Amino acid sequence: MPAARIIPCLDVADGRVVKGVRFADHRDVGDIVDFALRYRDEGADELVFYDITASPDGRSVDTGWIARVSALIDIPFAVAGGIRDRDTAARCLAAGADKISINSPALEGPELIAELAQAFGRQCVVLGIDSRLGDDGRLTVKQYSGSPEATRDSGRETIAWAVEAVRLGAGEIVLNCIDQDGVRQGYDSAQLCALIAAVDVPVIISGGAGEMAHFADAFDAGASGALAASVFHDRRIAIPELKRFLARRGIEVRP
């Protein structure tokens, strides 16, 4: 099995890094480039940048800061935010992004997944799924979740949507568990295991990391990568220390 990936997640709004709780009440935490350089130096394996208001605002991610980040770091990173067509994806990749992550635009038109996979290779196409457990016990996908006012139910069930997206060409899935987001009580292992069992591409888990043991639990369950934001942004967990902890638990990590 490939080495476990530690992936800081940077939510971006108005050109700044922000962090919320359960996808709401976002606070400004700093500059995009400053965070990218910090995580490069701390040993992050990859980065993910989400322009969280792009889709709700009907625009696309700004390639200006993608180019600035790419010029300064040498670790892979993915970008997301209102990428609705091949040309926009091409601009993001040309600016230096290694992967394109799509969420709401793929829900609007699933054929976008196949179009991007054909144009750039499925290894470049990441599907983000914002998943929530309903009162009826169903896991459903939320859309436009970067804005509390715009968030709505997509009408799709989480696992079925993941299976369809992989069939269309998604090469990786990021499972964002909304109910766990920012509360630091641990990743949703039940959702993670259900998704891993349903698809044959790498799955990255997001939402809920609060201590180092939560990362170990995710990797033990089969996650390819673990995404986290506030515990890294607020320096509650240091990436070098986390990697040493995981290695002691018998989990392979990159130096």
Q: Catalytic residues, which ones?
A: 11, 130
Neighbours of 73 (CB within 10 A): 18
CA dist., res. 69 & res. 96, Å (int) = 8
CA dist., res. 132 & res. 135, Å (int) = 10
Q: What is the CA radius of gyration of the chain?
A: 17
What are the tokens at 208? Answer: 């809920």
CB under 8 Å to 129, separation ≥6 — which residues?
103, 141, 158, 161, 162, 173, 174, 175, 176
Half-sphere exposure of 114 (CA within 13 A, CB side): 6
CA dist., res. 37 & res. 22, Å (int) = 26
For helices 158-168 and 111-120, the axis angle rounded to 10 degrees is: 40
CA dist., res. 16 & res. 164, Å (int) = 34
State the DSSP code for 253: B
What are the tokens at 61? Answer: 């991610």
